[in-house]
Structure 1
Amino acid sequence: MSILVSDPFGVAGDQAMPSLELALDPELAQQHLRDRLPRLAGKNGSVQLRTIRVTRYKPGRRCVIEYEVGVERPDGSPEAVVLVGKVMAHRYGKSGYRLLDAFWRAGFQSGSPDGISVPEPVGHVPKFQMWLQRKVSGRAATALLAAPGGVALARRIAEAADKLHRAKVPTERRHTMADELRILHERLPTVAQAEPQWAGRIERLLEACDHLGTATPKPTTCGIHRDFYADQVIVNGERLFLLDFDLYCEGDPALDIGNFLGHITEQSLRTLGDAGALADREQAMEERFVALSGAAPAAVRVYATLTLVRHVYLSTLFPERRPFIQSLIELCEERLGVTRHWQFDESTALDFRKVSPTTGRPLSLLIYSHDGAGLGHLRRNTLIATRFLEEMSGSNVLMLVGCPLGAFFELPPGVDFVKVPSIRKVDTGVWDSWTPGLSLEKTKAIRAATIRNAAEHFRPDLFLVDHSPTGVWGELVPTLQMLKGLKDPPKVILGLRDILDAPEVTRELWRRDGAYDVISRYYDSVFVFGSPEVFDTTAQYGLDGAFVGEVTYCGYLCSEEAHTANAHMRAAPRIANNKLVVVAAGGGYDAYPMMSACLKAFQLFGKDLPFEAVVITGPLMEHEQRESLRRQAQGLPVRVLRYVNDLGYMNVADLVVTMAGYNTLLEAIRLRKRILAIPREGPSAEQRIRCEVFSRLGLVQAIRPEQLSPSRLVQAILENLDAGPITPVPLRMDALTTVVRQMRRLLQSDTAQPTSGAHVP
C-alpha cells in the first residue's frame, strides 16, 4: 500500500530541524508509529500508516505533521485515527508529551464529566523529536464566538480557563509582568523602524504600558496557558478541547483571560469593523472568570490592553491585517489614555517654528473646524493639512478639532491637533454640549479659551477657518481680534463647502451672528470648495456684496486615491464576481434610518439577493444601531462594517447608496460610480439642495426620504445595476492643488492688496 506524503512547505530541507526529513519518510514513519504507540493500539494491536501531511510550519522553529492511520486492536473493530505530531527546534518532544499527559490525568480526559478536555496524548517518537496526540473534531471557537450563542460560549471558555489554573500541573518555567513588558519593548520598535510616522506614537504607547504594568498588583501565581485565545479552543457540541500548551508556565491567571479578550477585540475590529462588536462576549467571559477565580477585574483588563498593543506588531506579520494597524494604534491610545494632542510649552512652540528649507522662513498653518456630529469637515481639513506639508516641506500644521473621535484620520509628521470639547447640532444655529454633565457654559468657555491659547502660542502664518466665520457662539471672534493686532498678523482664510444650507437660512444666521461684518474685518480671502457653474456660493449667500476681498472657487475637494478598474480591485476586498452595492454615509451619526431602509429592501430577496452588499456604518453611529443593522443583515450576503481606512470597497462597487453629504458623494462621483442618494431630512437643507443640483447634472439619482420604501429602493437599485457605464465626471476636482497654490500666493504677497471679486483659477 503506497503512502501519500504532502509537504507543501518543503520542510524536509529545514537544516534547523533535521528530524523533519525523517518524520516524512514513509517507511521510517510506519516503523516508528507501529513500535512507539502501544497506548493507541494496545499490546498486540497494529497501526497502518496511510497518509502524511504537513499542516503548519514556521521555518527553523516548529512544524505540525498529521498522520492518518488505521488502528486494529485484538479486542475491537478497526478505527481510522488522525494523529497530530509536533516538532519544535531544540526540543526532543518528550516534555510536550509529558505535559499533555499530566493534564489528561488531572481530569481533562475526553470523557470528563464537566465537558472540558485536552486531546488524548498518544506517544513520543525520539528519532523524530516529536510527540503525538489524537486530533479532535469540532470547530475553533473563533467564528462561534461571533455567532448566536457566543455569550454562553464565552462563559464556558472562562470556566475552562479556571479549570486549567486549578489543575496544579507543575512547571519550571515562569512568566512575569516584566517579561510581558519586555516582549513589547522587543517587538514594537520594529514597527516604528518600518513605519517612521508612527514612531512617536509607539514610543508613547510603550511608556503607557510600562506605567500600567508596574502599577498592577503582584498576583498569586499558578500554571497558565500563556497563549490562550479562540483558536486554541475546539468546540465539539457541549465539550471544549484546549490546545497547544507550548508556552505553559507559572504566571498570573489574569493573563490568560486578558489575552483572550484582547484577541476578541482585535478580531472584532478587523473582521467586523468595530472593536466593541463582541463586547457582550468579552463582558460575559470576564465576569464569569472573576466570579470563579477571584481575580481582580483590573488585572484582566491590563493584560487585555497589553495584548492589543502586542497586536500592533503581530499585524505587521500578516499582509491582510496591515490595513488595520492605524485603527489598532488609535484603539490602544484610547485604552491607555495616550493623546497626540499638542501641549503648550516653550519647547513645543519652538519645534513648531521650524524653518522651511524651500522659503527660508518658518511656515505654520492653523486650521479651525467647529465639528458637529460628522467627519466631513475633519476629512477635508486633514487632506488640506497633508497636501500643505507635501508642498511646503518643513512647515507645520496645528488643527483645532471638535470631533468626538479627535483627529481620527492618520496625520503625517508635522501635523498635530488640539481637541476642544465636542458639540452637537440641535437646530439651525443651535448647539449643545456633546458630553453629558458638561454644562453649556463650561463648554463655551473651554472652547473659546483653548482656541485663543492655541493661536496665541502657535502664531500661525496662515489661519484657515472652516465653515463658520465667527465660530460657534462667536468663539472665534476674540482670537481673530488678537491675531489682527499682532505686529505680523497671519493671513486669515474662510473655507466654505459649496452648499451650506438654504440660502435664506444662512443669510439670516450670518446677519444674526454678525458674520458679514466679521468676514469683512478679519478675513483676507475666501476659498469655496466647489464650482460656480454648479452652485454660485458667493451669490447665494450674499458674499458678493459683503466681502471686498478675493473669493476663489477651488473646485471640489476630494482625496486623490487613484481610480482603479474593478478587475484589479475586487480581489483585495474579497468580493465575488457578482454585482456589489456599497452603502455608506461618512461618520454615520444619523445614517441609521437610511441604512435600515436599505436592509429592509434587501430582505425582500432573502438569500436570493442578486448582488452582494457592504454596509459601512461609520464610526459615529451608536453601537446599538450598528448591532440592529447586523441583526437585519443576518442570512443575507451582506457585510456590516464599522469603518474602512480607504476607498477600496467604493472603488470596486457597481453602485453606491449614500446620503448626500459632501465627502462621500464627491468621492463616489470622482470614482465614476453610479450613485443612489437619499438626503438627510434636516435640520439643514444642505443635502436636499445638493441632491437637486447634482441630479440635474445627471450625477446622481435621488430619492427623497418621504418617497423611500423597500420596494421603491429595490427598483432603483436594480435599475442602476442594469444601467450602462457612467459618463466621465464633468466637475473640477483639483481643490487640493488650488488651495495650496492660493495659500502660497497669499504668503508671497504680504504687502499686496487683495483683488476684489470671485474668480476661478
Structure 2
Amino acid sequence: MTPGRRTAAPRPARDASASASALRTLLDPPQVAAILRAHVRLDGRPLAPRRVRIERCWPAGHGLRVCWSFTIRGRAASTLCALPARPADLNPRPSGPPTLINPPELRGVRVPVPRFGVVIVSPDCDPALPQLATLLNPVAMRARLQRACRPLAAAGRPVGARLGCRLLGYKPGRRAAIRYEWFNGRTTLRVLGKLHHDRRGQRLISLHRRVQQRLDELSGGRVRVPQPIAYLRDLRLALFEWADGGSAADGLGVDGRRLRAALDALAVLHQVELDDLRPFTLEDECAVVRRWFGVLGRVEPPRAAQVEPLVDALLRWSRRIEPGLRRTIHRDFYEKQLVWNGSTTTVLDLDTLARGDACQDLGNLLSHAYLHRLQAGESTPGFARLAEQLLAHYERRLGRVPRETVAFYCASSLIRGGCLHSLRTATRRYALPMWRHAAAILRKQGATATAARSQARAVAPPTSRVARAV
C-alpha cells in the first residue's frame, strides 16, 4: 500500500455484539474473580482469588489472549490465562487436580469455559507451548541445564547443586522467558531461558552472536547483548547468560548517567549493519496502531470513541512523513530493555530487531520516558525540554534527526500505548494523560485544525465529566 492510500481508522464494533460482551467480561476483575471461583477448584474447594488484576492482553483472531494475576491465601500473585478455545478445547477432558507450588503459582489448570468461548490455563498447560511443563520443573531440567552450562563452569562459574526457576515473561501461545538460578553456597549463577512456539530461538542465538561481534567493533565492549550459551532443540529453549546490573529506568533524570548510557547504546545499535533483517515500515507502524485501536473498539467503545480522532489524525499525518535513513532498529526500545552496571550497557530482547527508521526507536523511547514520569508522579509540563535534550545527546553521536518524524513516532507510541494500558488494571489511569500528550503533539505539528478541535473535545481535561467517568 502506498502512503497516499492509507485508510482511516477502523470504526469500533457495536456494544450489542455477544463476543464483545464476553471480551469485556474477561477484562473486568470482579467478573474474572467470579469465573475463577465457579470453574477452578483447589484442594477440592472453589478457588478464592483476591486482588484480581488484568496484567496483559493481546489480539488473537476475533478474540483475546488475557493474563490475570491474583493472590491466593494472602500470598504472592499467581497467573492464569484465558485463551480463545478451539472446538476440541471445549470438550471436557479428564485431568489431574490443580496444584499450588511455592512460590505461590498454580500448576495443572486447564478448564474450558464454553459460555465465553475460552479455556483457562496455567502457563504449564498452554497447548501451543507444551514444553513449558518441563521447563518450569527444576527436577526435570537440572541435568539438561548442567550439561548446557558446562562452558560457564569451565570459565570459573560453577553450577550449583540446587536449581530454582521462575517465569519472568509470558505471552500465551507465543513465547516465555524463564530465569534459572543455581545456588552454590554463597554464590548464585543465573541463566535466562527463552522459549518460542517456533524455531525462532535458534535464529536468535545466531543473531545475538552476530550483533555482539559488531557491537564489539563499534563500542569496544561498552555495549553488549546477552551472550548465548546453547539451544536445546527438542525443548525449543535458547539459553543466555544473565545480564547483571540495574535497569536504566532508575536513572531517567536529565543528567543521569544511565540515561546517557541508554542513548549511547541506541546510537551504537543503530550503526550495526545486518542485511538480512526483516523491514519495518511506516505502514507497519500505522497497522500496529490500527490493530490496537480495533481491539479497544471491540471491548470499550466509549474509550475508543475518545481516541478515534487521534488515530484518524495520525494516519493523515503519516502521508506527510518522509521515510528516514534505514538502520538496524530495536522496535521496542525503552529504559527497561537496558541493564547498566556502570561500565557496560546490555541491550535486551532482540526478538523484534528489524531494518527501519531510527526515529521509530527514538519516538518509542520518548513516549516511554513520558509514561515513566507519569508513573513516578513527576511533573510533565517540562517534558518537551527533556525530549529536546535527549535528541541533542543522540545527535552528538549520529547527526541530525528530523524532529517531525520523531514526533510522529512518539505520538504513535503514545496512542497505541494508551490503548494497551486501557486494558490493564494497574496502568489504566495513564491512558488519558498519554492521549492528551499525543493530542498536543498532533496539534503542534498541525495535523489539521478540524482534527485538533476534535481531539480537544474527545480527550478532555481531568476535571471533565468524560475523564471522571473513565
Q: Tell me which interval the TM-score lies in, with the shorter structure as reference length.
A: 0.5 to 0.7
Q: For each residue in 1:621-642, what CA deviation from the matched residue of structure 2 results, as whole angstroms up to 9, or x when unmatched?
A: xxxxxxxxxxxxxxxxxxxxxx
Structure 1 pair 39–408 and aligned structure 2 pair: CA distance change class (3 A): same
Cross-structure match for 1:23: 135
Cross-structure match for 1:124: 231
Preserved contact between residue 192 and residue 202 of structure 1 (Cα < 8 Å)? no
Structure 1 pair 262–341 and aligned structure 2 pair: CA distance change class (3 A): closer
Q: How does 1:159-198 map to 2 (within 5 A)?
A: 159-198=264-303
Residues 1:52 and 2:165 aligned together: yes
- For residue 143 of structure 1, what is the amino acid of its counterpart? D
Cross-structure match for 2:240: 133
SS in 1 for 2:351: coil
Q: How does 1:2-17 map to 2 (within 5 A)?
A: 8=105, 10=107, 11-17=123-129
Residues 1:100 and 2:213 aligned together: no
- Cα separation, 2, equivalents of 1:54 and 1:71: 21
- For residue 96 of structure 1, what is the amino acid of its counterpart? L
Cα displacement (A) at 1:5: 7.7
Cross-structure match for 2:178: 65
SS in 1 for 2:166: strand
- Cα separation, 1, equivalents of 2:106 and 2:355: 34
Cross-structure match for 2:331: 226
- Cα separation, 1, equivalents of 2:246 and 2:127: 34
Name the % identity.
23
Cα displacement (A) at 1:22: 2.0
Residues 1:297 and 2:406 aligned together: no
- Cα separation, 2, equivalents of 1:197 and 1:41: 57
- For residue 66 of structure 1, what is the amino acid of its counterpart? R
Q: For each residue in 1:92-115, what CA deviation from the matched residue of structure 2 results, as whole angstroms up to 9, or x when unmatched?
A: 521121111222222349x96462
- For residue 62 of structure 1, what is the amino acid of its counterpart? R
Q: For each residue in 1:335-375, what CA deviation from the matched residue of structure 2 results, as whole angstroms up to 9, or x when unmatched?
A: 212434599xxxxxxxxxxxxxxxxxxxxxxxxxxxxxxxx
SS in 2 for 1:172: coil
Moved over 6 A (4+): 43-46
SS in 2 for 1:339: helix
Of the three residues 205, 208, 213, the one matched with 2:313 is 208
Q: How does 1:738-753 map to 2 (within 5 A)?
A: none
- Cα separation, 2, equivalents of 1:84 and 1:46: 16
Q: For each residue in 1:407-435, what CA deviation from the matched residue of structure 2 results, as whole angstroms up to 9, or x when unmatched?
A: 664455xxxxxxxxxxxxxxxxxxxxxxx
Of the three residues 51, 69, 83, the one matched with 2:191 is 83
Structure 1 pair 116–278 and aligned structure 2 pair: CA distance change class (3 A): farther
Preserved contact between residue 247 and residue 339 of structure 2 (Cα < 8 Å)? yes
Preserved contact between residue 154 and residue 284 of structure 1 (Cα < 8 Å)? no
Preserved contact between residue 462 and residue 468 of structure 2 (Cα < 8 Å)? no
- For residue 246 of structure 2, what is the amino acid of its counterpart? R
Cα displacement (A) at 1:301: 1.9
Structure 1 pair 407–313 and aligned structure 2 pair: CA distance change class (3 A): closer
Q: How does 1:413-424 map to 2 (within 5 A)?
A: none
Q: For each residue in 1:593-627, what CA deviation from the matched residue of structure 2 results, as whole angstroms up to 9, or x when unmatched?
A: xxxxxxxxxxxxxxxxxxxxxxxxxxxxxxxxxxx
Cross-structure match for 1:315: 421
- For residue 56 of structure 1, what is the amino acid of its counterpart? G
SS in 1 for 2:418: helix
Structure 1 pair 341–35 and aligned structure 2 pair: CA distance change class (3 A): closer
Cross-structure match for 1:259: 364
- For residue 441 of structure 2, what is the amino acid of its counterpart? R
- Cα separation, 2, equivalents of 1:342 and 1:41: 59
- Cα separation, 2, equivalents of 1:94 and 1:9: 30
Cα displacement (A) at 1:646: 6.2
SS in 2 for 1:174: coil
Preserved contact between residue 262 and residue 304 of structure 1 (Cα < 8 Å)? yes
Structure 1 pair 126–114 and aligned structure 2 pair: CA distance change class (3 A): closer
Cα displacement (A) at 1:59: 2.3
Cα displacement (A) at 1:318: 1.9
Preserved contact between residue 191 and residue 242 of structure 2 (Cα < 8 Å)? yes
- Cα separation, 2, equivalents of 1:84 and 1:7: 21
SS in 1 for 2:176: strand
- Cα separation, 2, equivalents of 1:9 and 1:258: 39
**Which stretches in structure 1 are left out of the alignment for 5+ residues?**
73-77, 344-397, 399-404, 413-644, 648-761
Preserved contact between residue 259 and residue 304 of structure 1 (Cα < 8 Å)? yes
Instruction: State the structure with more CA Rg.
Output: 1
Preserved contact between residue 192 and residue 198 of structure 1 (Cα < 8 Å)? yes
Q: How does 1:687-706 map to 2 (within 5 A)?
A: none
Number of matched residues?
A: 345
Structure 1 pair 7–87 and aligned structure 2 pair: CA distance change class (3 A): farther
- For residue 313 of structure 1, what is the amino acid of its counterpart? C
- Cα separation, 2, equivalents of 1:67 and 1:198: 41
Structure 1 pair 189–33 and aligned structure 2 pair: CA distance change class (3 A): same
Cross-structure match for 2:18: none
Preserved contact between residue 293 and residue 304 of structure 2 (Cα < 8 Å)? no
Cα displacement (A) at 1:326: 2.5
Preserved contact between residue 208 and residue 225 of structure 2 (Cα < 8 Å)? yes
Structure 1 pair 86–340 and aligned structure 2 pair: CA distance change class (3 A): same
Preserved contact between residue 115 and residue 239 of structure 1 (Cα < 8 Å)? yes
Which structure has more relative contact order (CA 8 Å, sep 6+)? It is 2
- For residue 407 of structure 2, what is the amino acid of its counterpart? R
- Cα separation, 1, equivalents of 2:263 and 2:166: 33
- Cα separation, 2, equivalents of 1:159 and 1:311: 25
- Cα separation, 1, equivalents of 2:322 and 2:389: 23
SS in 1 for 2:215: coil
- For residue 196 of structure 2, what is the amino acid of its counterpart? M
SS in 2 for 1:137: coil
SS in 2 for 1:93: helix
SS in 2 for 1:103: helix
Cross-structure match for 1:239: 344
- For residue 209 of structure 1, what is the amino acid of its counterpart? L
Structure 1 pair 267–131 and aligned structure 2 pair: CA distance change class (3 A): same
- For residue 282 of structure 1, what is the amino acid of its counterpart? A
Cα displacement (A) at 1:14: 1.6
Cα displacement (A) at 1:51: 1.7
